[in-house]
């Protein structure tokens, strides 16, 4: 299965913009006792911004791809920080910017 070039471009854009936005955002809450500081919902906002020009099924597909990549990035971060169990699940939801862990 080949991904359209727009999908690849949107994914790359998500990956390149998210860290910049995360650094530019002021912290919204103090660090929790476990030492984990989830990134604000910039990843979801970034995905929304990259799919803004698309419509219909293309928009939904690109949004799903972008959010899946964001969740994968958050999972990698949770593994690096050795977060396990329910805390990992909560961290990934918070980090990816989705309130219930699903793509809308």
pTM of the model as a whole: 0.54
Q: What gap in Å lies between CA 16 and CA 23, rounded to an integer? A: 12
- Flag whether 30 is in a domain: no
- Flag whether 101 is in a domain: no
- In tens, the pLDDT along 51-93 reads 999 999 999 999 999 999 999 999 999 999 999 999 999 998 8
- Flag whether 33 is in a domain: no
Q: Which two tokens stand for residue 19?
A: 């860290």
| Gap between the terminal Cα atoms of the chain | 24
Our count of domains for the chain comes to 1
| 37 and 14 Cβ atoms separated by less than 8 Å | no
Burial class (CB in 10 A: 0-12, 13-18, 19+), 79: exposed
- Flag whether 32 is in a domain: no
- In tens, the pLDDT along 13-41 reads 555 565 555 555 444 444 454 555 554 55
User: What range defines the domain where residue 18 resides?
Assistant: 5-24+38-96
CA atoms 9, 11, 12, 13: torsion sign: positive
């Amino acid at each position: 299965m080949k991904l359209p070039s727009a999908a690849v471009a949107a994914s790359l854009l998500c990956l390149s913009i998210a860290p910049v936005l995360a650094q530019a955002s002021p912290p919204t809450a103090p660090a929790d006792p476990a030492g984990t500081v989830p990134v604000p919902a910039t990843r979801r906002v970034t995905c929304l911004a990259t799919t803004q020009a698309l419509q219909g099924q293309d928009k939904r597909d690109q949004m799903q791809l972008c959010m899946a990549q964001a969740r994968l990035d958050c999972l990698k971060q949770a593994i690096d920080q050795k977060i396990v169990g329910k805390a990992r699940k909560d961290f990934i939801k918070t980090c990816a910017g989705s309130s219930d862990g699903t793509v809308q």
